Structure 1
Amino acid sequence: MTQSENRGIEAVALVTGASSGFGMLTVVKLAERGFRVIATMREPSRKEELERRAERSGILDRLHVMRMDVTDAAAIEETVQAVLTAYGRIDVLVNNAGYAAGGFVEEVPMEEWRRQLETNFFGLVAVTKAVLPQMRERRTGIIINIGSVSGLAAFPGFGPYAASKFAIEGFSESLRHEMSPFGVKIVLLEPGEYRTPIWNKGLSQISTSDGSPYQAHLDAVLGYARKAADTAPNPQEVADLIGRIVRMRSPRLRYVLGRGSRLLIGGRNLLPWSWFERIVARALK
């Protein structure tokens, strides 16, 4: 439970990437928990589904949709300052905005590598930096970064996405140490496959070329990804966990969740690398 809730002051949460997936579900969950929620998205015209869900849950009046592109530093500062002017505080930040770019390393253009890191990593850093000063000064707040099991175990064909999520791991660890003396909590969620639009979007943004020497391997990777996406669990699990974390006095740094995720990470950490490598290669045949 946040200190503002203890004092009876309305707590404020800011969620990035709120138009779909984890972000949209998290907005609704936090509003149900009593937060005033700032739902940010690059294209506010995509807010209809969020507002329909919020109306069904009876919490539409607790939402404030705002445009924010996490790759636009000026827009981030403008949005955060507008929230602080209107509500005086941001108690919870959920860094969710992102997408999945893929392709084999040789065939992914450098501009796509940069675009992936700009959105998934540098955008997350920029939003965090904009929100941190008021949390540090008030000595309270929680920042929840949406990472991925791909930030702990990388697979072929999604090098850009894995690189961005590995970067979030190191950033979150360092920030947790830095903010501990100031009472600001840093939490890292590492979901596996869930039924969210990110994978369908990612599968449509694969970099390849005619006559690619990697085509057979890429087809196997994409087939595996499609099959996993079709049978993935409900993403509401992630939003529900966030709803619980924001009420915890001492949340831990990492939460791995999703079907098979703990087994995957356990194998990655405990098995000899050559064994793990063979297991992945066999799974992708």
Structure 2
Amino acid sequence: MTKPIALVTGASSGIGKATAELLANNNYYVFAMARRMNRLEQIRSENIEPICLDVTDANAIKILIDHVMTTKGRIDLLVNNAGYGQLGAVECVSMEAAHEQFEVNVFGYARFMQAVLPHMRAQNSGIIINIASILGQISIPGFGWYAASKHAVEALSESLRGEVMKFGINVVVIAPGLIKTEFAEKEFELLKTVEHPPIYQKLLDALPRLLKDEAIAPGPEIIAKAVLKAAKASFPPMRHAVPGDSRTAVISRWLLGSRLFDWAVRCKMKI
């Protein structure tokens, strides 16, 4: 039986790596993409083909899709996962950094969606899974530009779902909460590049406290399992929040209302 063909971006670590490996172990042939080829080579296998690729490079994406169609003839699953988090007060993050956040987290996803859709339409089947974030549904101080990019992913996914459902294509959003990966470490490295006046010191002190539980959070495998479940489902969920803290946050926002929820967040952050 022909193996389904999957494309996974941001596959060199964390959620992308766990997803590529789990799909490969479940008989998918996976094109695993990232910029760090040395990391990708570590997961190369019979079912995983590493590809060095930057999601901001439209020409590289076109070359990849041509390669996939030439060698495999179809695309069954796209997992948009590549991204990063730009922390900092909205006032202080430069426009250049804000543009780069959207270039990777939003337009990187969009480039891949536009690239695979003609082929999925032609075969009248396919599934696109966009890894968003709980911050795509709520937003908190210090995470404004990252949250804005994930809100955009939610909006694009919702529109796209209605546009392509009639072509046999499903679009799913998976919204992780706190997951044990290298993500927070990279966020704080980027935060150091943003100059804040002293008035924002309480905010800067609050961010590590907010993310301190990452060390005891579930591993990326929990998201990989959600991806596999959605990919195999006859009627996949439109949106899936994982793990429990993700669902709790959304429900809390709904129950408390925006004003009370925002107050509770600021109390927790002590700002």
TM-score range, shorter chain: over 0.9
Shift of 1:80: 1.1
The two structures have a TM-score, normalised by structure 2, of: 0.96
Which stretch has the larger CA shift, 210-219 or 265-274? 210-219
Structure 2 gaps of 5+ residues are: none
Runs of 4+ in 1 over 3 A off after TM superposition: none
Q: CA deviation at 1:133?
A: 0.3
What TM-score, normalized by structure 1, do the two folds share?
A: 0.91
The CA deviation at 1:277 is 1.3
Q: SS at the partner of 1:190?
A: strand
1:240 match:
225
Secondary structure of 1:127 counterpart: helix
Counting matched residue pairs gives 269
User: Where does structure 1 lack aligned partners over 5 or more consecutive residues?
Assistant: 1-7, 52-59
Structure 2 contact 86–143 (Cα < 8 Å) conserved: yes
Q: Which residue of 2 aligns with 1:148?
A: 133
Pair 1:117-2:108 in alignment: no
Counterpart of 2:63, as a letter, is: E
Whether the aligned pair in 2 keeps the contact of 1:20 and 1:50 (CA below 8 Å) is no
Amino acid at match of 1:92: L
For 1:95, the equivalent position in structure 2 comes to 80
Task: Choose from 241, 254, 257 the match for 1:269.
Answer: 254
Aligned-partner residue type, residue 200 of structure 1? E
- When residues 81 and 222 of structure 1 are mapped into structure 2, their CA distance, relative to the original with a 3 A threshold, is same
Distance in structure 1 (CA, Å) of the matches to 2:162 and 2:196: 47
1:231 aligns with 2:224: no
Q: Is it true that 1:214 corresponds to 2:200 in the alignment?
A: yes
Residue 181 (structure 1) aligned to one of 166, 170, 180: 166
SS of the residue 1:13 aligns to: strand
Question: What is the CA distance between 1:248 and its match in structure 2?
Answer: 0.6
User: How much does 1:258 deviate?
Assistant: 1.4
Paired position in structure 2 for 1:12: 5
- Whole-Å separation in 2 of the counterparts to 1:229 and 1:277: 22
Q: After superposition, what is the alpha-carbon deviation per residue over 1:195-248, rounded to whole angstroms, capped at 9, x for unaligned?
A: 0111111111115326432012221123222x1212211221111111121111
What is the aligned partner in structure 1 of residue 70 from structure 2? 85
Between 145-154 and 40-49, the greater mean CA deviation after superposition: 40-49
Identity percentage over the alignment? 40
1:66 is matched with: 51
Three-state SS of the structure 2 residue aligned to 1:125 is helix
- Partner-residue secondary structure (3-state), 2:43: helix
- CA–CA distance in 1 between the matches of 2:255 and 2:139? 16
The aligned counterpart of 2:91 is 106
